[in-house]
Structure 1
């Protein structure tokens, strides 16, 4: 094989790999991701190591991501529109951006500025899931070669690195006054009905209305406090049951009540039967529990 042919094949493989790693997300979701990455410093800092310019189907979107990542690396914040305009001028002067590409980039910026910034946490999670999948897929492929060499330590190392891929916990410095425009935009989107709260309902609309996420916040810790016999254990069982009936997978751990007692309480609640009467008509209770299970998530007791 000639050297030119070898280089050509290598280039073709590289292009194929890049094409394979493009996001399966549609154009609207990709534009949404770019809008958040371009305008929301917190989102950008959390996802900067997960988002790659090559993931975007639109070349102009990918170029903008590359420019913003460079600025973010040095200045720890996303550039505002004025600074971004200057960055583009500098890149054009250095002939790093073609004239025909500049037109597409400007149009992309106009589109992004019209895109709402709602549900950033959901978008960040989807970006993280994709990056984890890609990292694990590559780790598995490399592991095959290492396995043939008997390099088990190498396999463990790359597997651990792949498993560590995820969102940044440290979101970077939050400049309170500078971020008011972003906060205002989110509130405007909320007012316009563009934002849907993603809280997990307590099962009680009156309680949901007082919680920030209109329910329990995902990946957050909520604490029940009260005097002895105030109903903390009962409320935990109730809230867990309600989440399960909404289709979420749940777990209820108790250090004071047995699983049998908890299960009886739940049976009484779901079947609308007094605990002392559960043994009077077991088949009716069973039928009501089975009916509830049809739409429920897994419910584990420990």
Structure 2
């Protein structure tokens, strides 16, 4: 076997030097503050760091002590301690030291909290940094202990088994993940979660009974994503607002992110549907609106059930949404329903083609929901082929905007279909394109509340749909007679759609 060169031997000696293995990682102060601030604020980050980061990695003595208190408290209580708890623990540890030292440590603790501002790029970067650092440190330690063992007894099988196990453990270091449902050990938990589903504690409504009834369990659940598709002006955003209203009524916390209409506009639509009042006269019925809200929230433990935030189109991506929600969590508010209006106005990934970026946005939104355990609802635009459909046809997955694959991450996919004559009749048709867990490929009829001005959407029977359409037909027929008398145009025929309902043929 070739002998090591002097340079290789020097490298080997440096790696196996016990002092190097035990030395602190050379993070600068800014890096350390950002990391410690994240550990104090982000439980996901803290879980990822347990077993990797040890307090002694920090160079600042105050940081070392704060990290020790944090890890000890979390190990015992499984939650991040509040700031006042950390301050009390610091006082206990430092009670025999000079008051100036106590003040210095508290000042440094405040500095850490103020220094850290949630941002996903920083968060993900630090997780990867810590993971790779842990891999390097673990491999150095494994190599050092294995070399010592090999020098003691190189011809013993037990020595090589020891070395193999040490190296294997070092190679297994990676991000930490929740263990999931341990079926045979947690069968009671399985039934408890099933009971919560049946009771609706974890269920989210689409806003339409026909959709909910077709979904296994009666609605969507945390970690799932549903999307609307429809031509501009057919009610996609109205459907999202309806979902917000109906889920707030169920007691869910809803975060509504809008990238088109401003916050006041969305709030007006919500108020109109929630209070059943004309959207054009909300200012004139302010007292009635306030009374309705107070009546609804008086018995609520937490009345802060809706948060509306506008972002400019083309600015926000999934990472930005993560960062914004992390900031909300720091304010002790965590939604369990995220509504994004809409993904077409989100920032594309410049490193890939637009169709691939559209797919990734929906995929990553769903992945984020699984990670944080919230439900997601959004909408997408169809391609030009959707405008060519006849009244007896429905928008489906073949009409999705930039990529056929875009719908694949979706757990539920619904289209809103409305021809000009249906808009005049204040009606429309919804088609259930896809339910990953439930019945799909069926239509039902809807109506819009334009007269009362609430802009609400609701299901109607086939008979009501036909009646509304026929009223418009009769109105148009009367106009045609007048036109014929004037010699302006020929009468048009009346045809039936795929369900035997009348519509007007040009």
Q: Which runs of 4+ in 1 moved over 3 A?
A: 97-101, 180-183, 199-202, 208-214
Inter-CA distance 171–30: structure 2 relative to 1 (3 Å threshold): farther
Q: Are the equivalent residues in 1 in contact too, given 2:142–2:166 (CA < 8 A)?
A: yes
Q: Are the equivalent residues in 1 in contact too, given 2:24–2:58 (CA < 8 A)?
A: yes
Inter-CA distance 202–48: structure 2 relative to 1 (3 Å threshold): same
Separation in 2, partners of 1:56, 1:182 = 25
Match of 1:202 among 341, 344, 352: 352
Are 1:54 and 2:205 matched, yes or no?
no
Separation in 2, partners of 1:164, 1:204 = 37
Q: How does 1:179-194 map to 2 (within 5 A)?
A: 182-184=326-328
Are 1:121 and 2:120 matched, yes or no?
no
Q: How does 1:241-280 map to 2 (within 5 A)?
A: none
Are 1:147 and 2:150 matched, yes or no?
yes
Q: How does 1:69-84 map to 2 (within 5 A)?
A: 69-84=71-86
Separation in 1, partners of 2:36, 2:68 = 11
Q: Are the equivalent residues in 1 in contact too, given 2:118–2:327 (CA < 8 A)?
A: no
Q: How does 1:205-244 map to 2 (within 5 A)?
A: 207=358, 210-211=361-362
Q: Are the equivalent residues in 2 in contact too, given 1:45–1:76 (CA < 8 A)?
A: no
Q: Return 5+ residue gaps in structure 2 as ranges.
A: 1-16, 181-252, 254-301, 303-323, 332-346, 372-396, 406-506
Larger Rg belongs to:
2
Q: Deviations over 1:200-221 (max 9, x none)?
A: 843328627944769x99xx9x
Shift of 1:124: 1.2
Residue aligned with 2:81, SS: coil
Separation in 2, partners of 1:88, 1:171 = 33
More helix by share: 1
Inter-CA distance 78–202: structure 2 relative to 1 (3 Å threshold): same
Q: Are the equivalent residues in 1 in contact too, given 2:87–2:106 (CA < 8 A)?
A: no
Inter-CA distance 161–85: structure 2 relative to 1 (3 Å threshold): same
Residue aligned with 1:166, SS: coil
* Residue of structure 1 equivalent to 2:112: 112
Are 1:101 and 2:101 matched, yes or no?
yes
* Residue of structure 2 equivalent to 1:86: 88
Residue aligned with 2:173, SS: coil
Are 1:169 and 2:174 matched, yes or no?
no
Separation in 2, partners of 1:44, 1:109 = 17
TM-score normalised according to structure 2 size: 0.33
Q: Return 5+ residue gaps in structure 1 as ranges.
A: 1-12, 188-196, 221-225, 233-302
